[in-house]
Amino acid sequence: MNQTLILVSVFVAVLMAAFSVLNYFLRRAEISRNVGATRAKRTETDKEIDRMLGDENAEIRYYLDVVRNMPPNSLPMRLVQAGYFSKSAILNFNILRVLVSATVFTVIQIVTIRFVSGINLAFATVLAMLGAGISFILCSAVLERIGKKRSREFRKLFPDFMDLLIVCVDSGLGIEAAIERVTREFLVTTRDFGIQLSIVSLEIRAGRSIDEALQSFSKRINLEEARTLAVLFKQSQEIGASISKTLRVFAREMRQMRLIRAEEKANALPVKMLFPMALFMFPVNLIIVLVPIMMIILQMLLGLAPS
């Protein structure tokens, strides 16, 4: 019995030792694979960032052509503000809304003729054309909504941009190098905002002043904070003020404005909740209160009735 117990103990000990050694080497191999994959991914990311920050970027060249030649309310400019920088974006958007309008026209006409009895074909066609026209307009409204949604997302990211810019400037980088360094970080984390910043970096590299590049940046993302930052850069250059102090003051004021907007939304919340509560909760409460009383009164009236 003792020999069997000793053999079992030795077997378990050898098995645990073999498992530990095997697990150690497998974990090291897995870590090596993960490190290699991370390095390869980082290399591909750096190449992609270099391509986007290079002068041969077709998307940015297309954007610069749109800004230079198109009015602010044109379809190419609205597509750019919505995040579509490709040359084929206009063709794709037009094809999409034509297909949507044709689909709505066909569906309305078929449904009207088949399920509505006694309707004239001409009236069904006019109704289908009206629906197709409304859907055609709604496609543009959806595009505007996408642009506004991107502006709200950029407003949330702008304080992070300011913090990173202050850190880079305080560490000794110039404002141009700081903007390019922050651009690289946002191209990895938030590509849309990074593309907008890469355009700023390329415009500065091409010879435009910082305030002009930031002014174009504010027009692209439709953000008042970026417009204010461009004005502050221009004023600091004219009076010779410190850029670091200017950025710190603006970042502090921007945080205060964010708190003020949050307080405004919080103060407006009770007024916004009043109408849904009055519409949905008040009738239910009224029924809960009145129905038992009405049932008691009804029973009393039935009891008073002659047999």
Condensed to tens digits (0 to 9), the pLDDT of residues 14-73 reads 667 666 766 676 677 666 655 554 444 444 455 555 555 555 566 667 776 776 677 767
22 and 97, same domain (yes or no)? yes
Q: Please tell me the predicted confidence (pLDDT) of residue 41.
A: 45
Q: Alpha-carbon dihedral of residues 64, 66, 72, 75, nearest 10 degrees?
A: -140
Are 73 and 207 part of one and the same domain?
A: no
pLDDT for the residue 42: 47
Tell me, yes or no, whether 269 lies in a domain.
no
* pLDDT value of position 178: 84
Q: State the pLDDT at residue 59.
A: 65
Distance CA 30, CA 224 (A): 48
pTM metric for this prediction = 0.59
pLDDT value at residue 44? 44
**What residues of the chain score a pLDDT lower than 50?**
37-44
User: Is residue 305, in this structure, part of any structural domain at all?
Assistant: no
* Cβ-based neighbours of 197, under 8 Å, separated by 6 or more: 161, 179, 182, 183, 186, 187, 217
The predicted pLDDT at position 40 comes to: 42
Both 223 and 247 in a single domain? yes
Sequence-ordered strand ranges (E) for the chain: none
For the segment 159-171, what is each residue's pLDDT rounded down to a tens digit? 888 888 888 888 8
Contact 192, 83 (CB under 8 A): yes
- Domain of residue 163: give its range: 159-252
Q: Does one domain contain both 149 and 21?
A: yes
